[in-house]
Chains A and B, each alone.
Chain A
Amino acid sequence: MSSTTSGLDSPRQLRRAELASRRRHPAGREVVHTGPLPVSYYVIAIVMAILVPLGLVMVLSSSSVTQFQAGNSPWRYFQRQVIWAVAGLFVMWVALRMPLRRIRMFCRSFWLLSMGLMLVPFVPGIGVSVRGARAWVGIGPLVFQPSEFLKLAVLLVVADVITRRGSRMGELKQVMLPCLTVIGLAAFMMVAQNDLGSAIVLGSIGLSVLFLAGAPLLPMFGVSAGLSGTAVAFALSTPYRRQRWTSFLDLMNSREGDGYQTWQSILSISNGGLTGRGVGAGSGKWGYVPLAHSDFIFAVLAEELGFIGVFAILGAYVALIWAGTLVALACKDRFGSLVAGGVVCWIGIQTVINVGGVVGLMPVTGLTLPFLSYGGSSLLSMMAAGGLLLNVARNGR
């Protein structure tokens, strides 16, 4: 009887439906939709198939010199990133094949696990600090950043909550409050790790999903203003933070100090010119641009591939976002639609904040460039998100 009701309100009900589905289909799979896949599916797949290998090449180009000079193998970071990319392919396949209902079942456990992992960087001996942010876990050669997984988890949980209580969107207590709590807890953990950049991206993703889901505008505006105000206040709270977050406004005077990274990055970008120096031939990665292989990989890309390359890469991101939007709009499943929209916002916002910082339009926040930057957990969660996008494109018709 319950199957005829409009909503599946609780995990218990979801699980029951899932079990019923398994009984009907012994293989344990949902009925795969037949018919041709939408164009957006292929667009997303092709863009990812271009960006991930390009990222591997650029990680090699941007890290080999500094690694070699540090006495390591020039292939060190490339090899690690390749391993992560292979793992990413697996995760992507899982995210692509898993029925959306089952994802909804798992998302709370995933969220709890991610929140738990957020505590691990504080464990002495395992936690790793990079540039003041204690956001990494390092166990031998395995280094990862739990906040990257948490972004995905929060996105899924928020989408799930909204889907279940979507009809009561107007009631702040029913939808906004639990969603904001989930977002707020996660953001709090990130700020506690002194990783304001991740917190900003996370907040933006969460609020975007709420916004897309049709949350009433006035409270949305209030919450956004409040959170932005808090973030700005935090960024300006101490002279050290103030300098760090405002140095991009006056690079000429801060280029020897807080603006050094951005200044070096801009020099490298302009050195690329229209056609670039050629892959491998940049000068910024020779110790001038800090973190050239991760946060500032866009500077290396711009120097080596030139404006033409930058245009193509930004075009690829736009194509991905455009296709993702089509997927979100075409999806008949509300959860799938919100997840697709959230992933689109995630990729878009993180790319804008990362590149904006690298080109000196925004403060540097310490975020990776989706699909391209060195960083295992980042690549893994981005590929999982890409898999979800493909999943929605495939199954949400």
Chain B
Amino acid sequence: MKKVALYLIVVAVAAACSSKEVREDAPVGDRSTAVPPTTAGGSSSTTRPTQSASLAPGNPLTDPNSALSKRSVYFDFDSNAVKDEFRGLVQAHTRYMTDKRDTNIRIEGNCDERGSREYNLALGQRRAEAVKKVMTVLGVSDGRIETTSYGEEKPAALGHDEASWAQNRRADIKYRGE
């Protein structure tokens, strides 16, 4: 067996080494601590109150005391089954949409990092479809719910262990305009 190592310094694009780029790099630790310490079975919210549309006072979608502020359904590995502990959350959004006929949502599915990127995109979408199905069975019309996926591209937690993976296997409910 032979091993040859060539140490090369590559001409990278200027952006690769500008100090501006360095500042834009969010340290991994910072991003991790910004995520609520949720577990697969937990009920913490991953709502990010960054959109002006949903910051209006008294908006039940963002009021932390409202069930509607909880937006994430978590899944087991390799599974798209909506677990019983998340039925209440999904039902609350179903009731809200039934009341507010002008609301539309997008359900975004996500996966943990394990596996092939494109297949994970499809798996995330299947998780989103599973949540959608609960809502359409309860009466929300199909046309009001778009399902998409970020696959493994938008992890909520950046670790490479089950604690992080459990937070990343999820479907997020987003109202149009958010």
B is a partner of A = no
